[in-house]
Chains A and B, each alone.
Chain A
Amino acid sequence: MDNFHPLESKVLLALAPQPGSPSTLDHLAASTGLEPSQLSMAVEWLLAKSLIAVQAETVAHIASLTPIGEVFFEKYAPIERVLSAAREAGQTGKRLTIQDIQAKEALEPSDVSKAVGTLKKEGSILIVQGGCLESTGRNSPTAEAMRALLHELRSGPRELQTFAEPLRAVLQQHAVKRGNAREPFRVDERVTRSFLLTPSGQEAADQLSRDGVAEEVSQLTPELLKEGAWRTKQFRKYTISLRAPRIAAGKRHPYREFLDLVKLKLVSMGFQEMRGTLVETEFWNMDALFMPQFHPARDIHDVYFVKNPTHARMIAEPYLSQVTEVHETGAGAGSTGWGYTFDAERAKRLVLRSQGTAVSARRLAASPSVPGKYFSIARCFRYDQVDATHATDFFQVEGIVLGADINFRTLLGLLNLFAREVAQAKEVKFLPAYFPFTEPSVEMHVRHPKLGWMELGGAGLFRPEVTAPLGVSVPVIAWGLGLDRMAMVALGIHDIRDLFSADLEFIRTMRGSF
Chain B
Amino acid sequence: MPTISLQRDELEALIAGPGNTPSRLSVDQLEQWLMLVKGELKGHNPETGELRIELQDSNRPDLWCCEGIARQIRTKQQGAATAYPFFKKQKRADEKLMVAAGLEQVRPYVAACTAIGYRVTPSGLTQLIQTQEKLADIFGRKRRSVSIGLYRLAPIVFPVSYDLVKPDDVRFTPLGMETVMTLREILMVHPKGVEYGGIVSGHDRLPVLRDAKGQVLSFPPIINSREIGEVQVGDDRLFVEVTGTDLHMVALTLNIFAANLADRGAVIAPVEIQSPVKTAFGKRWHTPIDFGAPRTIPLKAIETALGEALGSKEVTSALKSYGYTVKSAGPKVVVQLPPYRNDLLHTVDVVEDVAISQGYARFAPVMPSQFTVGGLSRLEHMADRVRHLMVGMEFQEIISNIMGSRQDFCTRMRLDGSEWAKVVEVDNVMSLTYSCLRQWITPSLLQVETNSSRAFYPHRIFEVGEVAVPDASADVGSRTITMLGAVIAHAGAHFSEIHSCLDLLLYYLDRAFTLEPVPHPSFLEGRAGRIMLGGRAIGLLGELHPEVLEQWQIGVPAVALELEIDRLLDEA
A residues with a Cβ closer than 8 A to B are 246, 248-253, 255-256, 260, 263, 266-281, 294-296, 300, 304-310, 312-313, 330, 333-339, 350, 352, 369, 371-373, 379, 381, 383, 385-386, 391-393, 401, 403-410, 412-417, 430-434, 436, 439-442, 461, 463-465, 475, 477, 499-500, 502-505, 507-508
Residue of A nearest to B372 (CB): A270
The residues of B that contact A268 with a CB separation of less than 8 Å are 374
The residues of B that contact A434 with a CB separation of less than 8 Å are 1, 38, 56-59
Question: Does B424 contact A403, Cβ atoms closer than 8 Å?
Answer: no
The residues of A that contact B304 with a CB separation of less than 8 Å are 407
B residues with a Cβ closer than 8 A to A are 1, 35-36, 38, 56-59, 138, 141, 145, 248, 304-308, 344-349, 351-352, 355-356, 360-361, 363-377, 379-380, 384, 387, 390-403, 424-428, 430-431, 434, 437, 444, 447-452, 454-456, 458-461, 466, 468, 472, 475-480
Question: Does A507 contact B372, Cβ atoms closer than 8 Å?
Answer: no
How many angstroms between the C-alpha atoms of A249 and B351 in the bound complex? 55
Which of the residues B355, B384, B403, B455 comes within 8 Å of A393, measured between beta carbons? B403
Residue of A nearest to B31 (CB): A431
How many angstroms between the C-alpha atoms of A412 and B396 in the bound complex? 40
Which of the residues B35, B307, B345, B461 comes within 8 Å of A407, measured between beta carbons? B307
The residues of B that contact A417 with a CB separation of less than 8 Å are 367
The residues of A that contact B458 with a CB separation of less than 8 Å are 248
Known pairs A256-B387, A263-B376, A440-B355; list 8 more (Cβ under 8 Å). A304-B426, A410-B307, A417-B367, A431-B35, A432-B360, A441-B352, A477-B368, A504-B449
Known contacts A273-B377, A379-B466, A465-B345; A307 and B427 CB within 8 A of each other: yes
Question: Does B351 contact A408, Cβ atoms closer than 8 Å?
Answer: yes
How many angstroms between the C-alpha atoms of A393 and B377 in the bound complex? 22
How many angstroms between the C-alpha atoms of A270 and B452 in the bound complex? 41
How many angstroms between the C-alpha atoms of A174 and B349 in the bound complex? 101
How many angstroms between the C-alpha atoms of A412 and B307 in the bound complex? 11
Question: Does A267 contact B376, Cβ atoms closer than 8 Å?
Answer: yes
Question: Does B396 contact A251, Cβ atoms closer than 8 Å?
Answer: yes
The residues of A that contact B356 with a CB separation of less than 8 Å are 432, 440
The residues of A that contact B348 with a CB separation of less than 8 Å are 439-440, 461, 463-464
How many angstroms between the C-alpha atoms of A268 and B451 in the bound complex? 38
How many angstroms between the C-alpha atoms of A305 and B307 in the bound complex? 41
Which of the residues B145, B305, B346 comes within 8 Å of A335, measured between beta carbons? B346
Question: Does B452 contact A405, Cβ atoms closer than 8 Å?
Answer: no
Residue of A nearest to B139 (CB): A296
How many angstroms between the C-alpha atoms of A303 and B319 in the bound complex? 37
The residues of A that contact B349 with a CB separation of less than 8 Å are 439
Rounded to whole Å, the gap between the CB of B560 and the closest CB of chain A is 15
The residues of A that contact B451 with a CB separation of less than 8 Å are 502-504
Rounded to whole Å, the gap between the CB of B399 and the closest CB of chain A is 5
The residues of B that contact A305 with a CB separation of less than 8 Å are 426-428
Residue of B nearest to A284 (CB): B476
Question: Does A464 contact B346, Cβ atoms closer than 8 Å?
Answer: yes
Nearest first, the 8 closest Cβ-Cβ pairs linking A and B are A407-B307, A504-B452, A409-B307, A250-B394, A412-B365, A371-B370, A440-B352, A434-B56
The residues of B that contact A433 with a CB separation of less than 8 Å are 38, 56
How many angstroms between the C-alpha atoms of A251 and B394 in the bound complex? 7
Known contacts A250-B392, A295-B58; A408 and B452 CB within 8 A of each other: no
How many angstroms between the C-alpha atoms of A294 and B364 in the bound complex? 37
The residues of A that contact B478 with a CB separation of less than 8 Å are 277-279, 306
> 18 A-B pairs, CB-CB below 8 angstroms?
A248-B396, A255-B399, A272-B374, A273-B376, A275-B380, A306-B425, A308-B425, A309-B477, A373-B372, A383-B430, A412-B365, A417-B367, A433-B56, A434-B57, A439-B346, A500-B400, A500-B401, A503-B455
A-B contacts at CB below 8 angstroms, number: 276
Rounded to whole Å, the gap between the CB of B324 and the closest CB of chain A is 16
The residues of B that contact A295 with a CB separation of less than 8 Å are 58
How many angstroms between the C-alpha atoms of A501 and B449 in the bound complex? 12
Residue of A nearest to B57 (CB): A434
Question: Does A273 contact B56, Cβ atoms closer than 8 Å?
Answer: no
The residues of B that contact A372 with a CB separation of less than 8 Å are 372
The residues of A that contact B459 with a CB separation of less than 8 Å are 504
Most buried by A among B345, B349, B377, B449: B345
The residues of A that contact B448 with a CB separation of less than 8 Å are 502-504, 507
The residues of B that contact A507 with a CB separation of less than 8 Å are 396, 398, 448
Known contacts A305-B427, A306-B425, A433-B56; A269 and B374 CB within 8 A of each other: yes
The residues of A that contact B424 with a CB separation of less than 8 Å are 278-279, 306
Rounded to whole Å, the gap between the CB of B83 and the closest CB of chain A is 25
Residue of B nearest to A401 (CB): B368
Question: Does B345 contact A330, Cβ atoms closer than 8 Å?
Answer: yes
Known contacts A279-B478, A334-B346; A410 and B426 CB within 8 A of each other: no
Most buried by B among A280, A295, A431, A504: A504
How many angstroms between the C-alpha atoms of A351 and B411 in the bound complex? 24
Question: Does B437 contact A352, Cβ atoms closer than 8 Å?
Answer: yes
Known contacts A249-B394, A408-B307; A373 and B1 CB within 8 A of each other: no
Which of the residues B138, B363, B455 comes within 8 Å of A296, measured between beta carbons? B138
Question: Does A432 contact B352, Cβ atoms closer than 8 Å?
Answer: yes
Question: Does A248 contact B394, Cβ atoms closer than 8 Å?
Answer: yes
Question: Does B373 contact A250, Cβ atoms closer than 8 Å?
Answer: no
How many angstroms between the C-alpha atoms of A409 and B112 in the bound complex? 44
Question: Does A392 contact B401, Cβ atoms closer than 8 Å?
Answer: yes
Which of the residues B35, B138, B455 comes within 8 Å of A504, measured between beta carbons? B455
Most buried by B among A246, A266, A268, A371: A371
Question: Does A307 contact B425, Cβ atoms closer than 8 Å?
Answer: yes
The residues of A that contact B452 with a CB separation of less than 8 Å are 502-505
The residues of B that contact A350 with a CB separation of less than 8 Å are 476-477
The residues of B that contact A336 with a CB separation of less than 8 Å are 344-346
How many angstroms between the C-alpha atoms of A434 and B387 in the bound complex? 39
How many angstroms between the C-alpha atoms of A5 and B13 in the bound complex? 90
Question: Does A393 contact B396, Cβ atoms closer than 8 Å?
Answer: no
How many angstroms between the C-alpha atoms of A431 and B54 in the bound complex? 14
Known contacts A434-B1, A504-B396; A410 and B367 CB within 8 A of each other: yes
Question: Does A253 contact B345, Cβ atoms closer than 8 Å?
Answer: no
Rounded to whole Å, the gap between the CB of A262 and the closest CB of chain B is 12
The residues of B that contact A266 with a CB separation of less than 8 Å are 374
Question: Does A253 contact B399, Cβ atoms closer than 8 Å?
Answer: yes
Known contacts A249-B394, A250-B393; A414 and B346 CB within 8 A of each other: no
